[in-house]
Amino acid sequence: MQALITVILPVFLLIAAGWTATRFGLLSAAASEALTKFAQSVAFPCLLFRAVVQLDIGEEFNAPLLLGYYAAASACFVVGMIGARLIFRREWEDCVVVGFCCLFSNTLMLAIPITERAYGHEALASNFAIVAIHAPFCYTLGIVTMELVRARRGRLRPLLLGRHIFRQVVTNPLVIALMLGFVVNLAGLTTPAPVYAAVNMLADAAVPVGLFAVGGVLTQYRLEGDGRLIAMICGITLLLHPSLMWLLGRAADLPSSAFRSAVITAAVAPGVNTYVFANIYGRAKRVAASSVLVTTVGCILTVWFWLSILP
């Protein structure tokens, strides 16, 4: 109960504040979207840049942590995709979107603030290691799978596919910030003090603004049908993913800090990028939007459970 009150509730109270402000007209939907854009394209990139600059890369980027996390995430992608096909008889393009919902955790706006409140800022190093390859890995897996599925009706063009993946990844502000952080870190460069101070101020705004913006964006989503399919996505993202991460983390004997970060990241709801992915291809958009809403609310209880049993 203590974890629910002191760790989880403040995070979701900020989300609720954003939802209330937008729902009752204190902020417009356009303003909430602008805040989301600011958080994803400016504040969180600054947060990631600062984190990577400060990381001990040799210590934090360990293979067991990353292999374990992304093996669990990939397994959930496959389970979600095959489940949507075999159980719900959805078209393959829709199945890929469902799989992406089961793959893409909200690493920034949920996992980082929950981990920080539970274990302190110093516990975030493993979170940042996971985030560093999260968008490139997930988008590459999702796009390649979708293009392979769509190629059933025609000829697969590898060069076009490669350009599409490259464009989606390298134009992502988070990826750009991470690459700049790695350059500064590995080259031993020093960021000018005024620039670093500005980066710090923007980075400090990332979590509260991001959480508030998530609440505003959620007002645009509605629960519309596909209840059983959404329930399957909830089970995979909130229960199966962290369970697999728990087993793989124990098998790899991860240090406690890395183990906690990985399990919590696996246990949070999908991010709004799942809807972005669905919107890119125009498939299963209703399922993606409803899943973000339901899992974001549902993970209040499931994250509480995982926190209660973590070492």
- Percentage of the chain surpassing pLDDT 70? 92
On whether the CB atoms of residues 77 and 274 are closer than 8 A, the answer is: no
**For the domain that residue 105 is a member of, what is the CATH number?**
1.20.1530.20
On whether the CB atoms of residues 291 and 233 are closer than 8 A, the answer is: yes
* Per-residue model confidence as pLDDT tens digits over 5-58: 677 778 788 888 988 999 898 889 888 888 888 988 898 889 888 888 887 766
* Per-residue model confidence as pLDDT tens digits over 260-310: 999 999 999 998 778 778 877 888 888 887 888 889 888 888 898 999 999
CA pseudo-torsion sign 164, 33, 232, 249: positive
Neighbours of 172 (CB within 10 A): 18
Domain assignment present for residue 20? The answer is: no
In degrees rounded to 5, what are phi and psi of residue 8?
A: -85, -45
* Per-residue model confidence as pLDDT tens digits over 112-151: 989 998 898 888 889 988 988 888 889 889 988 988 888 7
Query: Could you tell me which residues come within 8 angstroms of residue 201 by beta carbon, excluding any fewer than 6 positions away?
Result: none
Cα–Cα dist 222/286, whole Å: 8
Asked whether residue 214 carries a pLDDT value surpassing 80, the answer given is no
**Whole-number CA gyration radius for the chain:** 19
Domain assignment present for residue 19? The answer is: no
Domain assignment present for residue 266? The answer is: yes
Domain assignment present for residue 4? The answer is: no
In degrees rounded to 5, what are phi and psi of residue 105?
A: -80, 155
Tell me how many helices (H) and strands (E) the chain has: 17, 0
Token readout for 274 is 């799942």
Host domain of residue 204 = 32-309
pTM of the model: 0.82
CA pseudo-torsion sign 111, 113, 119, 125: positive
Domain assignment present for residue 36? The answer is: yes
Show the CA angle centred on residue 290, arms to residues 287 and 295, nearest 5°: 115
**Residue 2: its pLDDT value, please?**
59
Confidence of residue 59 (pLDDT cuts 50, 70, 90): low
Domain assignment present for residue 13? The answer is: no
* Per-residue model confidence as pLDDT tens digits over 168-193: 677 778 788 888 988 888 888 888 88
Burial readout 260-283 (b: 16 or more C-beta within 10 A, e: otherwise): bbbbbbbbbbbbbbbbebbeebeb
Token readout for 38 is 């600011």
Domain assignment present for residue 135? The answer is: yes
**Residue 8: its pLDDT value, please?**
74
Cα–Cα dist 274/242, whole Å: 18
Count: domains in the chain: 1
Domain assignment present for residue 18? The answer is: no
DSSP single-letter state for residue 153: G
CA pseudo-torsion sign 214, 34, 127, 123: negative
- What angle do the packed helices 193-218 and 112-119 form, to 10 degrees? 110
CA pseudo-torsion sign 268, 273, 277, 278: positive
